[in-house]
Amino acid sequence: MSASSNFELMAKYNRHINQQFYDAASQLSDEELSADRGAFFKSILATFNHILVGDTIWLQRFAMHPAAFLSLESIRDTKTPDSLNAIPYPEIGQLKVAREEMDAVIENFINELSEHDLASPLRYQSTNGKTHTKRLGFLIQHFFNHQTHHRGQITTLLSQAGVDPGVTDLLMTIPEEEVI
């Protein structure tokens, strides 16, 4: 299995599970979604926003790669969030639309990658201004891991609010293999 095919699976899972989570969250009122639940980003809505903010920041970094990925053209012009706890979308409906658009960009980006791209270095600045140079493939692995980490928090918050987010395992996205 190639790194590219692994990331294609992760992008497909990301889109699917985000849809599932937003559908689950739609069972709650705006007040319930914005309520401080004692989580790291306080509320369900803020945690959803954080995932989108993180995705925006990482995709902007990926857009600076020497390969100049065409799929990230729109991200290059996107305003960089002011902070990791920014709330660019204070209303769940707007946030869901932005999430769907972001997931399409992610899938297009992942489909554009080659194994050569994944093995190449990317130089970027962290949010605290420190410069790093790391292999693009490892950074993309972190990108997907970050989303999964915070969706785990949202799973807990939704469950505490009485909403079952459904099965969240990646296993459900892995296709069956034909036995020969």
pTM: 0.94
pLDDT at 2 > cutoff 90: no
DSSP for 47-80?
A: HHHHHHHHHHHHHHHHHTSTT--GGGHHHHTSPP
pLDDT (0 to 100) of residue 172: 86
- Least Cα distance to 72 among 93, 92, 55, 48 occurs for 55
Burial track 109-146 (b if 16+ CB lie within 10 A, e otherwise): bbeebeeebbeeebebeeeeeeeeeeebbebbbebbee
Per-residue pLDDT, averaged over 40-50, amounts to 96
d(CA 171, CA 173): 5
Give per-residue pLDDT as tens, 12-36.
999 999 999 999 999 999 999 999 9
pLDDT (0 to 100) of residue 174: 85
- Per-domain boundaries in the chain: 3-172
d(CA 118, CA 140): 8
pLDDT (0 to 100) of residue 179: 86
pLDDT (0 to 100) of residue 77: 87
> Quick one: 3-172 is in which CATH superfamily?
dinb family like domain (1.20.120.450)
pLDDT (0 to 100) of residue 170: 87
pLDDT (0 to 100) of residue 171: 84
Give per-residue pLDDT as tens, 125-176.
999 999 999 999 999 999 999 999 999 999 999 999 999 999 998 888 888 8
Which band of pLDDT confidence, cut at 50, 70 and 90, is reported for residue 180? confident
pLDDT at 38 > cutoff 80: yes
| H-only helix segments in 28-171 | 30-34, 44-63, 73-76, 92-112, 115-119, 136-160
pLDDT (0 to 100) of residue 17: 96
Two structure tokens written together for 76? 């290059």
Give per-residue pLDDT as tens, 75-121.
998 888 889 999 999 999 999 999 999 999 999 999 999 999 999 99
